Amino acid sequence: MNISFDQASADAVQARLDALAKPPGSLARLESLAVWLAGCQGSSRPRADRARVLVFAGDHGVAAAQRVSPYPPAVTVAMVQTFAMGNAAVAVLSRQAGAELEIVDVGVAGLPRLPAPAQGIRFVDAKVAPGTVDLSEGPAMSVEQCHAARQAGREAAERAHADGVVVLALGEMGIGNTTPAAAVSARLLGRPAAELVGPGTGLDALGVAHKAAVVQRALDRGGPETPWEALADLGGFELVALAGCMERAAELRIPVLLDGFIVGAAALAAVRARPELRPFLLAATASAEPGHRAVCDALDLGPALLDWGLRLGEASGAAACLPLLRSACALVDEMGTLEEVLALAAAP
C-alpha cells in the first residue's frame, strides 16, 4: 500500500500558524508538531485527541543464556502483569495523557492467564513463541516467526485505526532487549558492537563489556543485512512487531511517536525496508543508550522532544509527550489570527 506524507496539508497548517496573533515561528516546536501531524494525517486540522500507547512485549534467549541484563527474564512477566493492573509507569503516564494503553504479548515466556485489565487498558495475546533463542549462537527466530510477529504489529495498527485512533506512541518490554536492539542496529549501520552497546537497565563497566562481546559474537557469525532478515537473525519478536506496526500505521496515515533505543532500532529496520514511512516517525525521547544517538542520526530524526536522559522504556517517554501534540493542535484550532486582533483593536 502507498505511503505518502501530505505536504499540501502541512503547508496549509504552516500558513495558518504564520497568520496567528504572534511573531512568526515564536512557538517553535509546538508549531512544527502541528505541521507534522497535518502532513501525516492529510488534514489542515490536525488532531491528537484520540491517542493510543502500544507496548509490545517479548522475551529473549540471549538474556537467559548470556546474562546480558542485571535482571532475570522472569521480570518481563511481572512487568506485563503490572502494566495490565495499571500500576506501571506507562500506565500512569497514559492515564495522565488521556490515552488508551494496549499491551501486545508477542513472545513472553511463562505468562499466566491475566485477570481482566484495569480500565482503559487492553491486553492482546499475539504470542509467536515463548521467547527467541540465543542470537549469539544462531538466528533469533525463523523466517516464519518473523512474519508472524510483523503481522501482529500490523494488526495492532489496524485495530487502532478501526477504533478511531489518530496518534500512536510505541514502546516495548523485554528483559535484555537492548542487546538485540544493539545487534540489529550494528548490522544495519555496519558498526562494531562496542560503539552501540550501553548499560541498559544498569550494567556496570564489566557487564557492558561482556554484553558488547556477546553482540559482537552474533555479528561475527555473519548473516543477512536486509532489514527484515536482519530482524529475524538478530532481533526480538517485539522489535519485529514494532517495525510492522510502524509500517502499517504509515499506510493508514497514523503518526508515530518513538520511545527510546529499542523502538528506534525497530524504526531503523522499518525505514531501511520502506524509506517512505520515515516522515511519519518522530523521536519522543533521547535515550541514554549510546546506540540510540547513532540510530537517530542515521534516520535524521533531529532533536527528540524530550532530552531528559530517560531510559525506562515501556513507551513512558512517548506517552509523556502526547499532551504536547494536543497543545499543538489546540493552537491551530483556537488561536485568533493577527488580522482578527487588529480588526478588534480598530473597532470603535
CB-facing half-sphere around the CA of 136: CA atoms within 13 A: 21
Active site residue 172: no
What does each C-alpha distance from 304 to 258, 296, 309 come to in angstroms? 9, 9, 11
What does each C-alpha distance from 146 to 51, 143, 153, 178 come to in angstroms? 27, 5, 11, 18
Q: How far apart are CA 161 and CA 1, in angstroms?
A: 15
Contacts of 277 (CB under 8 A, 6+ apart): 3, 246, 247, 250, 270, 271
CA dihedral of residues 218, 274, 284, 260 (deg, nearest 10): -10
Give the cell for residue 196. Answer: 552501540
Q: In angstroms, how far is CA 238 from the centroid of its own chain?
A: 11
**Identity of the amino acid at 130:** P
DSSP 278: G
Q: How far apart are CA 110 and CA 211, in angstroms?
A: 25
Residue of 238, 314, 339, 340 marked active site: 314
DSSP 335: P
Cell 491475566 locates to 114
Specify whether the CB–CB gap between 260 and 317 falls below 8 A. yes
Question: Cβ of 333: how many Cβ atoms within 10 Å?
Answer: 11
Contacts of 304 (CB under 8 A, 6+ apart): 283, 284, 285, 286, 296
- The residues assigned a catalytic role are 314
